Amino acid sequence: MINGYAGTILRVDLSNGVVTKQALPEDLVNDYVGGRGFIAKMLYEELPPDTDPLGEENMVIIATGPMSAHFLPASGKTHFGSKSPATGGYGDSNVGGHFGPALKYAGYDVLILTGKAQQPSYLFIEDETVEIRPADQFWGQGTNTVEKMFKEELGEDFQIITIGPAGEKLVKFACIGHDFGRQAGRTGIAAVFGSKNLKAVAVKGTGSIPVFDIEALYKKGKQAFEHVFNKPGFKGWVPEGTAGITNWVNMVGAFPTRNFQTSYADFHEQINGKAIVEKIKITDKGCFFCPTPCGKYGKAKTTSGSAFVEGPEFESIALLGGNLMLTSIEEVAYANYVCDELGLDSISAGVVVSWVLECYEKGIINATNIGREVKFGDLDSIVYLLNIIAKREGMGDLLAEGVKISSEKLGHDTERFAIQVKGLEWTGYECRNAPGMMLSYMTSDIGAHHARSWVLGHDIAGAGKSVHDLIAGGGETKKLSKAEVRGKSKVVMDSQHLRPLFDVLGICRLQFMEIGFEVEHYEELFYLITGKQRSWQELLQVSEKIWHLTRCINVREVKGYGRNYDYPPRRFYEEPIPDGPNEGNYITKEEIDLMLDEYYEARGWDKNGIPKQETIDRFGLSSLVQSRES
Amino acid sequence: MQVTIKLSGNLACIHTSLPMEMVMEFTVPVTIGQLLIELAISPLIITTVVVNNQLKDQDFLLTEDSEVLLIGPMAGG
Amino acid sequence: MKLIAKDEYCSGCRVCQGVCALENFREMNPSKAALSIEGLFPSPGKYRINVCNQCGQCAESCPVGAIHLVNGVYLISKEECTGCMLCVDVCPLQVMISHNSMVTPIKCTLCGECAKLCPREALVLEN
């Protein structure tokens, strides 16, 4: 028994139905702590060489952390990992809701899925009972539809994760749905599920989790919740949730529009958090033990259709709203619903669709290629494209491969504006004048993603100097000066250790990052739960170690991996922003190289971005990893 | 006049040289905008201002004993 | 004293279930809570909170009279309970909770901890 953990790794081989329950090893717990740590370690150790991401040998690892499901704010997060079909390298994704706690209360810290089921199946887990059951009645159906069917058949107490039709069709940016509107969205792990003939996992757990000092945890947990309630940001943040940042992102010229051609949307007030509250919201919907429910569940009515939907979050507002020029919150929410129900990552789908629309505008794709006229700002076009992608119909079959492969196949210089890194599409921040954020996207381990490192505030603090002077002098212009590109490595690296640490511990980072809940609380809670004194600094070092490990996974899995996989799309270093607060600004190729050189040096990687042996040794990885430095 | 200023966690991460809580003296009432200039904080990274538990914008004129909370940008999701 | 549920504020977080099990059993196990949260999704897109309203039907139905009214709260006597689970079937709100690890069902004792800690003020203890 290990305090804080359920104590068991559940392995299910879908090919032969063999279920193995393995005691959670102490050294895994000590060295890798949980969640993303377990995933990185097990993927490195257990993935067979040259595994096809959509082949039987690929693994899906689902893991919670030591703080998951315990009595503290927002302890409901679950991490997923696999060899990504989108990038061919380390892929992971995170979801809130209630699935991870259910898995832990059922008795499992980790669920590992391998092999391939003979027929469409789902995995049924109720405490000790683990069964592979037929899923014919669910196959082909949307995520919300399927979840409702499961709840009706099995009961409200079951927590469900499910893929949609897109995952079944192996779309490389298919996502896993949970709790009627949450997703493990990125890196196409749902396609791995689909390749295994696995539609869903249904879990119910009625056990307890051992705690080192339950009396003290009970007391401290209550204090922690009350502390969050008393934070000044507490009441103000919840009504709009993550959408509350929309106005600011526009004001600082970092909001993508038209496939990242421009960085300011004059219609942003029609699609911001206030619009959600005023026009569509029904319920503030939250995750397990969360005091600050970020989910905005509502009903959207449009001429293309009506739907109940959780969202849109900021990312969907950026990639489906600004990026696709949908100018009403109802339309953005409806497009979000279509992605959710089909089981498409709304971020990647938004970027693939915006690429198609730009190609169409430029005459590189025409109505015959794509099946009909399509354009920015037209919800029907967008719904049509999402559907052909999910079904792999016509040109949708190519688009389902993601924007990197689509642009390589189509040619005509369309790679220049395929907005992706390593094969993973970019998320909701335009960075041509945000060098730290640009570097964050470039060096994020799974491909272009903001969750690993978010430093836009730092970038803007530096870019505003001339505006500051203007305001002091009474000026009206709100143009940003070019931000300094040097010296960004440290702030990016710190963020790359801090943010993913929450994915290791199995809790949500929002209370800390957005509401100001202090890290000292987490240290004490960690001790009361596990009985282990581990300082926040020590835990950050584990996170830093994992950073090098995921880099090593990519180096091993992706042929020719190195510096050339860390570049942003050419649009970002060839095209100045044409208008808005950042008019004229961009980051040059020389500056991109400068940032990479600085970053690799700080990381202890060689000039090609490969971890050096001395770095691997320094982080205690040498027993696991052999350096492949050039 | 005396004003107490608090910085949110994410703002303190950006302006590491400033204390999270400070008291400042002014000879005349100042606006939030003027306060930011004094602190050398770019108005661009202040997303929310709370004065005596109420939301205010950067034009707001501060009075004696105001308690000001400056909140920086938060990551979206 | 009554525990009032205000469904429209509920976010589905289940802190109430967490604190209930901790208060009554000192266990990290929300399935041992005496109240339940039901999601009504996709439509109408809300939560329903099911809490005991001390109607007393459980006490009426108990064949051995093991449920007693004590200061306005119906409480199960563990010593007298035979584990027949008739009260679980009879409870009109389905808040008499049977748990596989226990003979006696779990019932709200009106301790009020859920109301104290609900982040949404969706549970209120009223006189």
CATH of the domain at A320: 1.10.569.10
A197 and A284 in a common domain: no
pTM: predicted TM-score of the whole model, two decimal places? 0.96
Question: Token pair for residue C66?
Answer: 């093991």
Within 10 angstroms of residue A164's Cβ, the number of other Cβ atoms is 30
Say yes or no to pLDDT of A85 above 90.
yes
Q: Is residue A495 part of a domain?
A: no
What's the rounded Cα separation, in Å, for the pair A145 and A305?
16
The subunits that touch chain B, with at least 3 C-beta pairs less than 8 Å apart, are: A
C44 touches chain A (CB under 8 A): yes
Residues of C in contact with A205 (CB under 8 A): 31
Say yes or no to pLDDT of A514 above 80.
no
Q: Are A392 and A169 in contact (CB under 8 A)?
A: yes
ipTM entry: 0.97
In the prediction, which pLDDT does A466 show? 55
Query: Tens digit of pLDDT for each residue in C29-59?
Result: 999 999 999 999 999 999 999 999 999 999 9
CATH fold of B2-71, please?
Answer: Ubiquitin-like (UB roll) (3.10.20)
In the prediction, which pLDDT does A475 show? 47
Residues of A in contact with B76 (CB under 8 A): 242-243, 245-246, 249, 313-315, 318, 428, 450
Interface of C with A in 79-108 (CB under 8 A): 99-101
Contacting residues for C109 by C-beta, under 8 A, at least 6 apart? C24, C34, C73, C75
Tell me which residue in A243, A245, A465 faces B73 most closely, judged by beta carbons: A245
Query: Tens digit of pLDDT for each residue in A305-354?
Result: 999 999 899 999 999 999 999 999 999 999 999 999 999 999 999 999 99
Contacting residues for A239 by C-beta, under 8 A, at least 6 apart? A273, A277, A284
CA distance B66 to chain A (A): 15
A50 and A166 in a common domain: yes
Helix (H) or strand (E) holding C22: helix C15-25
Residues of A in contact with C12 (CB under 8 A): 285-286, 293
Say yes or no to pLDDT of A429 above 60.
yes
Mean pLDDT, residues A172-197: 98
**Chain C interface test: which of A178, A289, A294, A515 (most C C-beta within 10 Å):** A289
Q: Residue A146 maps to which CATH number?
A: 3.60.9.10
CA distance A472 to chain B (A): 7
Q: Is residue A238 part of a domain?
A: no
Q: Given A410, A431, A461, which residue is the final one in a domain?
A: A410
A to B CB pairs, distance under 8 Å: 94
Calculate the alpha carbon distances from A441 to A451, A461, A503, A565 in Å: 9, 19, 18, 11
Q: Is residue A575 part of a domain?
A: no
Query: Tens digit of pLDDT for each residue in A58-73?
Result: 999 999 999 999 999 9
Helix (H) or strand (E) holding A332: helix A329-342
Within 10 angstroms of residue A518's Cβ, the number of other Cβ atoms is 14
Say yes or no to pLDDT of A223 above 50.
yes
Sole residue written with tokens 């440290």: A490
Closest CA to A606 of A573, A566, A546: A566
CA distance C10 to chain A (A): 8
The domain spans of chain B are: 2-71
What's the rounded Cα separation, in Å, for the pair A457 and A168?
39
Share of chain A above pLDDT 70, in %: 97
Mean pLDDT, residues A83-107: 98
Asked whether the beta carbons of residue A289 and residue C15 sit closer than 8 angstroms, the reply is: yes
Domain of A322, in residue numbers: 266-410
Given pLDDT bands bounded at 50, 70 and 90, which one contains residue B17? confident
Provide the number of structural domains found in chain A. 2
What's the rounded Cα separation, in Å, for the pair A483 and A241?
28
Query: What stretches of A79-213 show up as alpha helix (H) in DSSP?
Result: 99-105, 143-154, 165-168, 189-195
Sole residue written with tokens 């969205």: A185
The subunits that touch chain C, with at least 3 C-beta pairs less than 8 Å apart, are: A
Helix and strand counts by DSSP (H, E) for chain B: 2, 5
CATH fold of C2-121, please?
Answer: Alpha-Beta Plaits (3.30.70)
Question: Token pair for residue B77?
Answer: 């999701």
Q: Which residues pair with A425 in a beta bridge?
A: A420
3-state secondary structure of A593: helix
What's the rounded Cα separation, in Å, for the pair A497 and A108?
26
Q: Is the dihedral of CA A530, A536, A540, A541 positive or negative?
A: negative
Interface of C with A in 19-38 (CB under 8 A): 19, 22-23, 26-32, 36, 38
Closest CA to B41 of B2, B6, B76: B6
CA distance A196 to chain C (A): 28
**Closest residue in chain C to residue A221, using alpha carbons only:** C19
3-state secondary structure of A131: strand
